[in-house]
Chains A and B, each alone.
Chain A
Amino acid sequence: QQPVQSPQAVILREGEDAVINCSSSKALYSVHWYRQKHGEAPVFLMILLKGGEQKGHEKISASFNEKKQQSSLYLTASQLSYSGTYFCGTEILGNSWGKLQFGAGTQVVVTP
């Protein structure tokens, strides 16, 4: 049930762009994206419901294709502060309580 994230890691220079993908084998109600820095709690970035594309949180945006059960997170003009591990959390259609299953994470390193 755990969603599959790719790539596992990406190294960027400041100003470069990157895409992180998240796919599920289950029909999804929503996809959530979080960023976690070392030793800290995950920080909520955004939530996408069916048919949603959302822009928010610095120059980070995401899309959600509910037919393919896939979501992508776009890091645009990356900044040093973007470094961290990004997790997607998927909420399966029909589940109760808003339970999320998290992907393995994508480690992002932004260098000067």
Chain B
Amino acid sequence: GAVVSQHPSRVICKSGTSVKIECRSLDFQATTMFWYRQFPKQSLMLMATSNEGSKATYEQGVEKDKFLINHASLTLSTLTVTSAHPEDSSFYICSAREARGAKNIQYFGAGTRLSVL
């Protein structure tokens, strides 16, 4: 099956610092990747859609300047949380879309647990 790698799995940082999270599709090319945020015992909230070679599309209410997304290649998308604050602490998960004919299947990375002190 398709494999998506997400790194780091856990990060603890001080308030005001920036944190970069990488998402890689290992065995397929992904023109589209997605970034989600998940609070404890809650659903996956889509933050943005990342398309290779173009600007990301952000969902309503998500600050573009806060959450910088770069999709530089067909296998790599990065999410940078800039000037992180405690309220940014959360579980961030990426997914990569594999298009199989008429089917668009998203495969998820293992997630990154961000704790901002």
27 inter-chain pairs at a CB distance below 8 angstroms, sorted by A residue, are: A30-B104, A32-B105, A32-B106, A40-B111, A41-B6, A41-B109, A41-B111, A42-B44, A42-B108, A44-B105, A44-B106, A44-B108, A47-B103, A49-B103, A87-B44, A89-B44, A91-B104, A97-B49, A97-B97, A97-B104, A98-B32, A98-B99, A100-B34, A101-B46, A102-B43, A102-B44, A105-B43
Residues of B within 8 A of A (CB): 1, 6, 32, 34, 42-44, 46, 49, 51, 57, 93, 97, 99, 102-111
CA distance A29 to B24 in the complex (A): 27
Q: How far is the CB of B12 from chain A (nearest CB, A)?
A: 16
Residues of A within 8 A of B (CB): 2, 30, 32, 34, 40-44, 47, 49, 87, 89, 91, 97-105
Q: Total number of A-B contacts with CB less than 8 angstroms?
A: 59
| CB < 8 Å neighbour of B104 from A2, A41, A98, A103 | A98
| CB < 8 Å neighbour of B106 from A2, A40, A49, A98 | A98
| CB < 8 Å neighbour of B105 from A47, A87, A105 | A47
B42 contacts A104, C-beta separation under 8 Å: yes
Chain B contact residues, majority secondary structure: strand
Residues of A within 8 A of B99 (CB): 98
| CB < 8 Å neighbour of A49 from B1, B43, B46, B102 | B102
CA distance A104 to B111 in the complex (A): 18
CA distance A62 to B14 in the complex (A): 45
Q: How far is the CB of B90 from chain A (nearest CB, A)?
A: 13
Residues of B within 8 A of A100 (CB): 34, 46, 106
A98 contacts B111, C-beta separation under 8 Å: no
A41-B6, A41-B111 given; 13 more Cβ-contact pairs under 8 Å: A30-B103, A32-B106, A87-B44, A97-B32, A97-B51, A98-B99, A98-B106, A99-B46, A100-B34, A100-B106, A102-B44, A103-B43, A105-B43
